[in-house]
Amino acid sequence: MAETKYKRILLKLSGEALAGEQKTGVDSFVLDRICNEIKRVKKMGVEIAIVVGGGNFWRGKNSKEMERATSDYMGMLATVMNSLALQDALEAHGMEARVQTAIEMRQIAEPYIRRKALQHLENGRIVIFSCGTGSPYFTTDTAAALRATEIGADAILVAKTIDGVYSADPKMDARAIKYDNITYLDILSKNLKVMDSTAISLCRDNSIPLIVFAMSEPGNIEKAVKGEKIGTLVQGE
């Protein structure tokens, strides 16, 4: 079994990552590629939890005509659709997976119970945390940081469409500088758009490193788990 730096990880996937080129819905080709990446890491003996966003179906805070709480609840339901699609794809690749929701919907998924989640991880199952924190006004970034803290994850792997943390949006600013290493405090003080400030503060308080990398590049999850230098490592004061 290959040597790994992190034994238990939480993988944060954006809803947009699942949509691929089509921008909305779920792209089966992208799902297949993500599952192959996860399977390689699973074979290395790594325990894997996943938090997936819902932005490919609905983005709560962007709805101007609707009450924010209602819009956020709709966003939580969008994460359930993505989680079920991911669970189905993982099982099609021969891996056991369980979806746990922060809002109860027992007919389709388990309710979130921390001890049950830990039991699944210890038994080699992949756990997908859905519905964010279960409360409006909190993003799936915050949910990822919270669940990672609760399950004792060694690191959070943040899969993005760009290959790390930059001083500005590299798609908009050609002078944007990429950081190989950066502290939580620098991200907060420079207002860098990695995860929201609540999530970053939670990671800082609990000393959970973040590895921010491009999902589009094959083998990146495996490299991150091994501790190889990819993307941006966020840690330290």
Average pLDDT value for residue range 231-237: 90
Distance CA 162, CA 202 (A): 23
Residue 208 lies in a domain: yes
Residue 1 lies in a domain: no
How many angstroms separate the Cα of 165 from the Cα of each of 31, 101, 151, 156? Answer: 24, 30, 26, 14
88 pLDDT above the threshold of 60: yes
pTM of the full structure = 0.94
Average pLDDT value for residue range 96-122: 97
Domains of the chain: total: 1
Percent of the chain residues topping a pLDDT of 90: 81
Q: Which one-letter amino acid corresponds to residue 196?
A: D
Q: Where are the beta strands (DSSP E) in 114-236?
A: 126-130, 155-160, 165-166, 178-179, 181-182, 210-214, 232-234
How many angstroms separate the Cα of 201 from the Cα of each of 102, 159, 206? Answer: 21, 19, 9
Residue 38 lies in a domain: yes
Per the CB < 8 A criterion, the answer to whether 146 and 202 are in contact is: yes
Average pLDDT value for residue range 124-144: 96
Per the CB < 8 A criterion, the answer to whether 53 and 16 are in contact is: yes
2 pLDDT above the threshold of 80: no
Partnered with residue 211 across adjacent β-strands are 157, 233
Give the pLDDT confidence of 26-69 residue by residue, as tens digits: 999 999 999 999 999 999 999 999 999 999 998 766 677 899 99
Instruction: HSE, CB side, 13 Å, CA atoms: give it for residue 139.
Output: 19
Residue 131 lies in a domain: yes
Give the pLDDT confidence of 165-219 residue by residue, as tens digits: 999 888 888 899 999 999 999 999 999 988 999 999 999 999 999 999 988 888 9
Residue 2 lies in a domain: no
Task: Give the CATH number, domain containing residue 230.
Answer: 3.40.1160.10
Structural domain including 146 reads 8-234
Average pLDDT value for residue range 6-31: 91
Q: Which DSSP category does 182 fall into?
A: E
Question: pLDDT at position 155, please?
Answer: 98
1 pLDDT above the threshold of 70: no
Residue 3 lies in a domain: no
Distance CA 225, CA 46 (A): 8
Question: pLDDT at position 160, please?
Answer: 87
